[in-house]
Amino acid sequence: MSTINPMDANPLSSLDAWEEDVLLRYPDPEAIAAKSTEDYRNYDDPARDTVKEFYRLNHTYQTYNFVQQKRKEFLQFNKKEMTVWDAFDFLNQLVDDSDPDTDLSQLQHLLQTSEAIRRDGHPDWMVLTGLMHDMGKVLCLFGEPQWAVVGDTFPVGCAYSDKVVYPEFFKANPDFENPVYKTPNGVYEPHCGLRNVDMSWGHDEYVYQMLKDYLPEQGLYMLRYHSFYAWHREGAYDHLLDDHDRDMLKWVTLFNPYDLYSKSPEPPDWKKLRPYYEDLAGKYLPATLKF
Ligand SMILES: [Fe+2]
Ligand SMILES: [Fe+2]
Residue 103: the pLDDT is 60
Name the amino acid, one letter, at 109.
Answer: H
126-164 pLDDT, tens digit each: 999 999 999 999 999 999 999 999 999 999 999 999 999
Query: pLDDT 10s per residue in the chain (291 long)?
Result: 556 788 889 999 888 899 989 999 999 887 755 555 555 455 567 778 899 999 999 999 999 999 999 999 999 999 999 999 999 999 999 875 544 454 678 999 999 999 999 999 999 999 999 999 999 999 999 999 999 999 999 999 999 999 999 999 999 999 999 999 999 999 999 999 999 999 999 999 999 999 999 999 999 999 999 999 999 999 999 999 999 999 999 999 999 999 999 988 788 999 999 999 999 999 999 999 999
Ion ligand 1, residues whose Cβ is below 5 A away: 134
Please state the pTM of the whole predicted model: 0.92
How many angstroms does the Cα of residue 5 sit away from the middle of ligand 1? Answer: 26
How many angstroms does the Cα of residue 178 sit away from the middle of ligand 2? Answer: 33
How many angstroms does the Cα of residue 31 sit away from the middle of ligand 1? Answer: 21
* Ligand closest to the CA atom of residue 223: 1
243-261 and 16-25 helices cross at what angle (nearest 10)? 110
* Ligand closest to the CA atom of residue 203: 1
Residue 125: the pLDDT is 98
Residue 43: the pLDDT is 53
How many angstroms does the Cα of residue 259 sit away from the middle of ligand 2? Answer: 5
